[in-house]
Chains A and B, each alone.
Chain A
Amino acid sequence: MLTIENLKKRYGERTVLDIERLEFEDGKRYALLGANGSGKSTLLKILAGTERASEGRTVFPDGVKTAFMPQHAVGFKLSAENNLRIVCNDKALIAAALKEFDLGTLKSKNAAKLSGGETQRLALARTLLVPFTLLLLDEPTAAMDLNSAQAACDAIKRAVTDSIATLVFATHSLPQAVRLADFLIFMDGGVIAEVMSSECPLTDVKDVRAQAFLKSIIG
């Protein structure tokens, strides 16, 4: 179990994250939902350790291995194939990843010159090649076309299932959240508004902030 207690993150005077308690069960999948600036990325960065909390603590399960894909996908100035090779030596795995993310024709191309969606596909493929027990993805398919996003979702699901890992991801797509996650975490202004099972009908949402958010995206 991954536990967050009394976590606060401040930038200057502003508190952008304020979480009393949040638990992530091992092997479960969690979607972070919320408007721009609600604190999704900040929470993921703190879990990934690339950003330090101002207060509070995070307790990780023993022997946790984290892989994190930031919101802004980066292609290293190498061929797409070498971008994968930098995290993995297994040629068969790399070939499979190139195929799964439809990067075969791009494998010799300089990754710094890929399109936004291509870069994101490559970044996701690269992240999934890292051995992990905790996978953190920040809007992993936001730049992809619908087909690619669908395929990426399947790849994420398969990778998380194979590694028996915990998944926490941010998304602006409600269908994706429902499809991929066991639990939906609604965030608002740096606060956890509500956590609910993705199997419950969305009409079950009780928190007014979460209701308002849902209304804003489904109408």
Chain B
Amino acid sequence: MLWQSIVRAFELMGENDPLLNEIIATTMKMAFTSSALALLIGVPFGILIGISKFPGKKIVITVLHACMALPSVVVGLTLYILFSGTGAIYSVRLMVVAQVVLIAPVTAGMAESYVTALSPWLTETAKGLRLKKPKVLFLAVNESKYQFIVIYLMAFARSISEVGAVQIVGGNILHETRVMTTAIALNYNMGQFRYAVALGIILLLIALGVNTVATIIQHKLK
């Protein structure tokens, strides 16, 4: 059964199936956009919290940590209620919004804990030089680019494999919002296990490919 699925997966890839290509393209578009946005929003926010001292900092961090574990169906449902009846529902754009809501807290939390664990001397020195926040932010990121590649990979992996929220706000519409995870769920529901597993294997290969590229970049950076 598994072996047959693996064979089917490679057959599928060899067939250059237009539907499959379309699903992969939609998935990649969604995953790259949402992980990039989550990184751009979450990382500066996390670093700023990490390098700043302000009253209520502990509360903010506690809330942030809680948001790292937001259940994706809850996020999906909330957005669904907010946007149902508008033109935004069942669009890739709203799927990206849902994923950013899910992933940005994770990137922010990781960036915050990284900066806090970073030598306290860096922030003390920067403060002693009266550097403005954007420069401290730059120095913090610059101190370990490797760390931020790992954060990005986390974000991308979470985005590409998430199913609950994108199913609800995307609706798994053929030719529009169908992505790999929702396609897998659909095929499974229809009893087409072999196709579902084949899609799963392709998803795994994509994840592996992205990770390999990132590893190569990492080595180049060192």
Interface residues of A (CB under 8 A from B): 45, 48-50, 65-70, 72-74, 76-78, 86-87, 123, 126-127, 130, 136
List which B101-149 residues lie within 8 A (CB) of chain A: 119, 121-122, 124-125, 127-131, 135, 139, 142-143
Q: Please report the C-alpha to C-alpha distance between residue A72 and residue B119 in the assembled complex, in whole angstroms.
A: 11
By a CB distance below 8 angstroms, the chain B residues around A48 are 127-128
The size class of the interface chain B forms with chain A is: 10 to 19
Residues A67 and B130 in contact in the complex (CB < 8 Å), given A77-B142, A78-B142, A86-B135: yes
Q: Please report the C-alpha to C-alpha distance between residue A211 and residue B127 in the assembled complex, in whole angstroms.
A: 36
By a CB distance below 8 angstroms, the chain B residues around A136 are 128
Majority DSSP secondary structure for residues of B touching A:
helix
By a CB distance below 8 angstroms, the chain A residues around B142 are 76-78
Closest to B130 in A: A130
Please tell me if the beta carbons of A74 and B125 are within 8 angstroms of each other in the complex: yes
Closest to B53 in A: A52
By a CB distance below 8 angstroms, the chain B residues around A73 are 125
Majority DSSP secondary structure for residues of A touching B:
loop
By a CB distance below 8 angstroms, the chain A residues around B128 are 48, 50, 66-70, 127, 136
Most B C-beta atoms less than 10 A away, residue of A69, A74, A127, A136: A74
Q: Please report the C-alpha to C-alpha distance between residue A74 and residue B139 in the assembled complex, in whole angstroms.
A: 12
Please tell me if the beta carbons of B129 and A126 are within 8 angstroms of each other in the complex: yes
How far apart are A51's CB and chain B's nearest CB, in angstroms? 9
Closest to A131 in B: B130
Q: Please report the C-alpha to C-alpha distance between residue A78 and residue B125 in the assembled complex, in whole angstroms.
A: 15
Please tell me if the beta carbons of A70 and B131 are within 8 angstroms of each other in the complex: no
How far apart are B64's CB and chain A's nearest CB, in angstroms? 23
How far apart are A174's CB and chain B's nearest CB, in angstroms? 25
Residues A87 and B131 in contact in the complex (CB < 8 Å), given A78-B142, A123-B125: yes
Residues A50 and B127 in contact in the complex (CB < 8 Å), given A70-B121, A72-B121, A77-B143: yes
Interchain CB contact (< 8 A) of B125 among A49, A65, A70, A77: A70
